[in-house]
């Protein structure tokens, strides 16, 4: 199968991953487009016979994290969980519901917890596969995952 055809088959899931990572739907689709473009430029680096989806997830995640870091450097725009709360509830309950409480809550997680939750819980990767995509040890993955999930439970429990 041509590289493009195989990639096309993975697009819907990659797009879901982008939506779980990015701060808005528009950012998520920009991230998807940028990832596909980079994949076409760097297709020579993918080894046929290995999983294209894992390669794509890694590529997208790295692109996203570069952007997060660049933004954090530029201005401390990264909203701390506490600040995120007040942003979401300052007269904006209706809005928060429309955006989806859950998507909203994901966006308050620190990046390293968000990517772990997105890969394992939403994308359904085994712990071992997720750790490989993120290039971190299993123990680091499980501790980020458990912290991210507990934060989400607390946040969503409060909202209920």
Report CA 160 to chain centroid distance, whole Å. Answer: 24
Instruction: Closer to another protein by CB, 54 or 142: give it.
Output: 142
| Shortest reach from residue 145's CB to another protein, in Å | 7
Q: Tell me 154's DSSP state.
A: H
- Give the per-residue SS3 of 35-58: HHHHHHHCHHHCCECECHHHHHHH
Cβ-count burial 84-103 (b if 16+ within 10 Å, e if not): beeebeeeeeeebeeeebee
Considering only residues 92-151, where is the footprint of another protein by CB under 8 A? 100, 102-103, 106, 117, 120-122, 126-127, 142-143, 145-146, 149-150
Q: Does 54 bind another protein (CB under 8 A)?
A: no
Residues in contact with another protein by the rule CB under 8 A = 2-5, 7-8, 11-13, 15-16, 19-20, 29-34, 36-38, 40-48, 63, 66-67, 69-70, 100, 102-103, 106, 117, 120-122, 126-127, 142-143, 145-146, 149-150, 152-153, 156
């Amino acid at each position: 199968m041509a590289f493009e055809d195989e990639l096309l088959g993975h697009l819907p899931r990659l797009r879901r991953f982008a939506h779980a990572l990015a701060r808005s739907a528009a950012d998520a689709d920009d991230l998807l487009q940028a990832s596909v473009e980079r994949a076409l430029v760097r297709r020579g680096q993918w080894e046929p016979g290995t999983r294209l989806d894992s390669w794509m997830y890694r590529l997208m995640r790295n692109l996203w994290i570069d952007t997060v870091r660049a933004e954090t450097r530029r201005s401390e725009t990264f909203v701390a969980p506490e600040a995120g709360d007040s942003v979401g509830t300052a007269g904006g309950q209706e809005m928060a519901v429309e955006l989806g409480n859950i998507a909203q809550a994901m966006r308050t997680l620190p990046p390293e917890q968000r990517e772990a939750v997105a890969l394992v819980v939403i994308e359904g990767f085994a712990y071992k596969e997720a750790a490989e995509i993120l290039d971190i040890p299993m123990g680091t993955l499980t501790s980020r995952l458990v912290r991210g999930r507990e934060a989400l439970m607390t946040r969503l429990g409060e909202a209920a």
